[in-house]
Amino acid sequence: MRTCERLVKEGRFVPTNPVGILTSSYRELLQNKVPLLGSSTACLVILDRTSHRLHTANLGDSGFLVVRAGEVVHRSDEQQHYFNTPFQLSIAPPEAEGVVLSDSPDAADSSSFDVQLGDIILTATDGLFDNMPDYMILQELKKLK
């Protein structure tokens, strides 16, 4: 995510294409001379304040909710290969290449839709979504007002 953040700060992205940011960031990490080994799911959201549109890219079981007037109006789709095996970006040690499960950033589910003043955009990992049903999340979000 730090690489994604840096690309955005440097203006090296298209605001309507969060998959592009994810792809560029992942490619940079793959080309590092000292590889960062590991894997991660990813959820990127870009709010265009001028057009009032939200552009999203979600890979794996992290995700987002958009809440309007106390109701969930948009949510990301969870991506899993099978139970407890979400889509993810991976950088494996050389001896494990081809053995470690890794997905392409292009596999991210992307969407674009209008948002309204007062909408709440919540991004979270499966740690939240697996353990709190929507009604509990909505109860907690009501406390923000």
Indicate if the pLDDT at residue 99 is higher than 90: no
Domain containing residue 14: 1-142
* pLDDT digit string, tens, across residues 112-129: 999 999 999 999 999 999
User: Where do we find the tokens 């992942």?
Assistant: 26
Looking up residue 55, the CATH number of its domain turns out to be 3.60.40.10
The tokens for 81 are 């290969």
Tally of domains within the chain = 1
What confidence score (pLDDT) does residue 92 get?
Answer: 84
For the chain, the average pLDDT equals 94
* pLDDT digit string, tens, across residues 6-56: 999 999 999 999 999 999 999 999 898 677 788 999 999 999 999 999 999
